[in-house]
Amino acid sequence: MNQVTKFDGTHEDLIHDVAFNYYGNRLATCSSDQKIKIWDYNEGEGIWESNISFKAHSCAVLKTSWAHPEYGQVLASCSFDRSVIVWEESYHDAVKKWTPVATLRDGNGTVQDVEFAPNHLGLRLAIVAADGLVKIYEAMDVTSLAHWTMIDSFPVGEGPSKDEEGNHCLSWSTSKFTSQMMVVGCAKDHVAKIFRQDHNNKWQACEVLGGHGGVVHDVSWAPNMGRSYNLIATACKDGHVRIFKLTDDSQGGALTGGWSRKMFNVTCIADFADHNAEVWRVEWNVTGTILSSSGDDGKVRLWKATYTGDWKCMSVVSAEEGPNAFQR
């Protein structure tokens, strides 16, 4: 990376999330002003242009997620108003418009994270709310997105978490060659857990990603891209970015009920405190080779492994203007 493109987000309040689409040429921003804005990249001029802005929820919008483009231009958002809304781009009188095609309501708390599943699983959507319950919905007819069926739900912790540290987050594994898996940040338990389906297709907690000194704010499962191991990154309230390496355990293991399955050996291979402040987001690039992190220090840091396997900070992007806005 050798350039930073800055633009005014034009929101009227705090921006909670920025989500790129599959191709990286569109992005969605959401804010406490209850709005979602869609931006398109103008390659000719090298700038991001606002496509449309619309009120999405009755409270602050916390997260957005793009569906795979084979399903069209589809976006999901979640909010403090305890709902998830699925949006679809359409044309009316040659004008682009984002229409709410389905509303999924969760009466037990703020919906804190939402993410579409990998496209090989179909058009599925996972959400997690403040009560610590993950729910998975599926669009049974991808040509009509008005009807979504809840096909699974499971708790991630020991009972509900209703205090200010009741933060949950999730990320799907994108691998096509394993059973369905996701990693979930488990509120004030200060851990992340890997969940997968057993032989009865019930989601079970398996490996634990520990060592955190605070609430896990975000988790991100790296695209596999043919590696023999998996990588998961976490962002933590204790100011640390951690990268965990998951390798197959040849000894296997067993859950209650006699279900035997291959376990992962979990190793924390990187632990950085460079932000010196709470870290809120981590995200991998499309090949799972570069990790970005952002925190309360107002900086985005990019991390990459060296040829010896050591993870190093390759560049820092600052929110401040001036000659030091981008550092290598």
> Is residue 322 very low, low, confident or very high in pLDDT (cuts 50, 70, 90)?
low
From the CB of residue 237, how many other CB atoms can be counted at a distance below 10 Å?
A: 20
Q: What percent of the chain has pLDDT over 70?
A: 89
pTM of the predicted structure, to 2 decimals: 0.91
289-317 confidence digits (pLDDT tens)? 999 999 999 999 999 999 999 999 999 99
Per DSSP, what are the bridge partners of residue 263?
A: 249
Query: pLDDT at residue 157 above 80?
Result: no
Can you list the domains of the chain with their CATH numbers? 13-155 (2.130.10.10), 171-328 (2.130.10.10)
The Cα 292–Cα 193 span in angstroms is 21
Q: Residue 201: what pLDDT?
A: 86
206-239 confidence digits (pLDDT tens)? 999 999 999 999 999 999 888 889 999 999 999 9
The Cα 81–Cα 118 span in angstroms is 26
79-133 confidence digits (pLDDT tens)? 999 999 999 998 877 788 999 999 998 767 899 999 999 999 999 999 999 989 9
Q: Which residues contact 297 (CB under 8 A, 6 or more apart)?
A: 275, 276, 277
Which range is least confidently modeled, 7-21, 199-213, 259-273?
A: 259-273
Query: pLDDT at residue 163 above 50?
Result: no
From the CB of residue 207, how many other CB atoms can be counted at a distance below 10 Å?
A: 21
